[in-house]
Amino acid sequence: MARTSGVNVKVNAKIRALKIYPTEDSKRDLKTLDTIAFKLTKGRAVRLALVLLTMAQDHKEVDVTRFRSRPRKSDDSYSITVSSAE
């Protein structure tokens, strides 16, 4: 049986959030908000942590992107993507 190096491990950097805050129906002006937040299940939070650790090993900077206005129709979850411009 051949051995596989950890360098060859690939991680899917797309995570689904249950909810993104502020919500689209927020009465506050988005330009004045200082923070954004997302709600994750326990499993998705662990997966996000693993993806962030994996990306941080190979990149000096990591971007976390969330898509607040486009929920997936099948389960109303929102996409969170971890990437790097390097």
**Per-domain residue ranges for the chain?**
12-24+35-83
Q: For 5-42, what is each residue's pLDDT tens digit?
A: 455 557 777 888 888 887 777 777 767 777 788 899 99
Kindly report which listed range (2-6, 26-30, 49-53, 66-70) carries the lowest average pLDDT score: 2-6
Q: How far apart are the first and last CA of the chain?
A: 35
**CA–CA separation, 61 and 13 (whole Å):** 15
